[in-house]
Chains A and B, each alone.
Chain A
Amino acid sequence: MAELIKQSWLFPVIQSVHVIGLAMLVGTICLVDLRLLGLGTRGQAVGNLAAALAPWTSGGLMTVLVTGPLLFGSDLARYVSNPAFVLKMGLLAVALAAHFTLHRRAVRDETVLPTRHKLVAVLSLILWSSVVLAGRAIADFDLA
């Protein structure tokens, strides 16, 4: 299976699905972050917007969590020795942890101070952008 993915057109196809999942996941999170910062979609309450986008966010998350390990599994040696990949996994762990704690609370709790909302939004934007940046850089930092 791993060899098949690595050496056939399956690799770019799975990668494309990974990018589409990423757009759904990171794109919708960014929309909520921008709303927390007071930019765009101001007609809707933060909680409503986040709830409306939730299926897209979780759909995107599931997509990347299926396609990501498939890509990783196709060439373990390449990825574990790739500094961009290792960095991406570290950033991903922090981004996910922040998303399901700080971010979730900021979105749900209307009583939280606006300044705190904004800090959480900026942190979230930085973390997810860094995950994408590191992910994209994997192809540029192959040691082999």
Chain B
Amino acid sequence: MSILQLCERIQAAWLSRIISESTWGYPIVGALHVLAIALFGAALLIPLAQGVELRWLRRIGLALILTTGTLLFASSAARYYNSTFFRIKIMLLALLLLNAVVARHDGRKMHTAIAVVLWAAVIFAARGIAFL
């Protein structure tokens, strides 16, 4: 089974179809995705400036971003798979994961700065998906 065929199976699943076929499914999951980004973004930026630790908030925000993001992807997986900007976005997310893993082993501050830049790039790539 090719990746494209896998994507077609994913978007045919009942949960994916609930999102793609209902009027409110996609807008609501999409809005939650953006709200979670706001929360996560603030929890990522603030410690950088204030020295306040907001790890639990970052974790909740990230969990919500990943859940809603996966649902949005599942709702039209084949279209996303074919999108160049989506592929760029996934690669940027892979870099973020790598950055997070490396950050566990040495100094923090630089890795947070890298994370902020990468997250900004993720947002640009994400808007690119809708544009093309």
Contact = CB atoms under 8 A, between A and B. Distances in A.
Contact of B42 (A13, A56, A129, A140): A56
A15 B127 contact: yes
A11 B31 CA distance: 20
Contacts of A135: 31, 34
What range describes how many residues of B lie at the interface?
Answer: 20 to 34
A46 interface: no
Interface stretch (B2-10, B49-57, B91-99): B49-57
Interface string B35-47: 1011111110110
Interface stretch (A18-26, A91-99, A112-120): A18-26
Contact of B45 (A9, A24, A34): A24
A101 interface: no
Interface string B1-44: 00000000000000000000000001110110111011111110
Contact of B50 (A52, A132, A139): A52
B31 A133 contact: yes
B41 A23 contact: yes
Contacts of A49: 52
Interface residues of A, number: 35
Nearest to A14: B127
The B contact surface, by secondary structure, is helix
Contacts, number: 101
Contacts of B45: 24, 27, 56
State the main secondary structure of chain A at its contact with B.
helix
Interface of B: 26-28, 30-31, 33-35, 37-43, 45-46, 49-50, 52, 54, 56-57, 120, 123-124, 126-128, 130-131
19 contacts: A11-B131, A12-B130, A13-B124, A16-B126, A20-B41, A23-B40, A24-B42, A27-B39, A28-B42, A28-B46, A30-B38, A31-B42, A52-B52, A53-B46, A56-B45, A132-B38, A133-B31, A136-B30, A136-B31
Given A16-B123, A31-B42, 15 more contacts: A19-B34, A20-B120, A22-B34, A23-B37, A23-B40, A24-B42, A27-B40, A27-B45, A28-B42, A30-B38, A52-B46, A132-B38, A136-B27, A136-B33, A137-B27
